[in-house]
Amino acid sequence: MPITDKQKKLLALLANGEFHSGEELAEALGLSRSAIWKQLNGLTELGLHYTGISGRGYRLDKRLELLDQAKITDGLDDNSRASILLLEVHDQLDSTNSYLSQKLHHGDASGIVCFAEHQTAGKGRRGRDWVSPFGSNIYLSILWRFPQSGLGEIAGLSLAIGVAVTRALTHLQIEGIELKWPNDLYSQGKKLGGILIEVSGEASGPCSAVIGLGLNVHLPATEAEKITQPWTDLGRILGSKKISRNTLAATLLNHLIPVIADFEKTGIAAYLDEWRAVDGLKGKPACLYIGNQTIEGTVQGIDDKGLLLMERADGTVQAYASGEVSFHNATS
């Protein structure tokens, strides 16, 4: 269900996490108190929950910091600001990747950045849904064109993007982030985020990519019930320490944009050492699923092309370019 203008005004009032009387909300929105109650109930469809107490009013169960285009732009460094053609913040999209894929196919230029507060059809790998409650996490996509590179030459981009995200989180003093080949972010064995890159173009160039990032900042428990694997979010990692979503958004762009812009020159080689330093799979027994094939073994890191190295029971080591990795009985 699309978010309405009334709901947007209601959220702007409730975002501070304080109690607001029904009378106050009704007056501000020009609605009856019974209509306000209906608007509040509609918020649950966005993954938001509220508390109502007689004599005190209503408040959101979790304070919201809504994304603000001006605040994100103010947090960008000069290089990122110069490289970004357009930065958009949407209340709601089906998915940020789908939105920019449409722009890509319509011929839009490189350097468009898109955030959404809520996704109605967020995408993970292999068509899985990405749980996307309103105003809680980071849903980000970047459209980029690579005029000098073919599809094979940007094959390691997801690993470089993973490195850029770990750099950004380290800059914000968030430690202990691990990467799971080829495109997941983990903390203490639990999934924190994921990268989804959709490419198009020619084998010998040029090509284009829509680079998507989903990062859990605050994932409400009621929404997390839909997730079928161990998960975490930045709120659980940081404890009492708070993080601004707008600061986080700008910091991510300050680290993502230079990596993407330089990738045609550097390739994956510039990021191998950093990726290996935070490899969360190396040395672990795992299963690699490629179509209907299951390969069991021990992960031995990545090779210099970013391919996954698996050691089989007979001691042989083979490199794989694609597949889904499952470890510790978790569903990838």
How far is CA 287 from each of CA 126, 239, 299, rounded to the nearest angstrom?
A: 17, 33, 9
228-249 confidence digits (pLDDT tens): 688 999 999 998 888 999 999 9
Q: Quick check: 125 pLDDT over 70?
A: no
Residue 117 is predicted with a pLDDT of 94
- What share of the chain in percent tops pLDDT 90? 70
- Whether the predicted pLDDT of 303 surpasses 60: yes
Read off the pLDDT of each residue in 201-213 and give the average, rounded to a whole number: 93
Q: Looking at the predicted structure, is the pLDDT value of residue 129 above 60?
A: no
Query: Which domains does the chain show, CATH number per domain?
Result: 5-60 (1.10.10.10), 69-277 (3.30.930.10), 285-326 (2.30.30.100)
pLDDT category at 330 given cuts 50, 70, 90 is: very low
Q: What single DSSP character describes residue 109?
A: P
119 is in an annotated binding site: yes
| 96 is an annotated ligand-binding site residue | yes
* Res. 186: pLDDT tops 90: yes
**Torsion region of 264: left, alpha or beta (phi above 0 gives left; psi -120 to 50 gives alpha):** alpha
Q: What percent of the chain has pLDDT over 70?
A: 93
Q: What pLDDT is attached to residue 219?
A: 83
The whole-number pLDDT of residue 312 equals 94
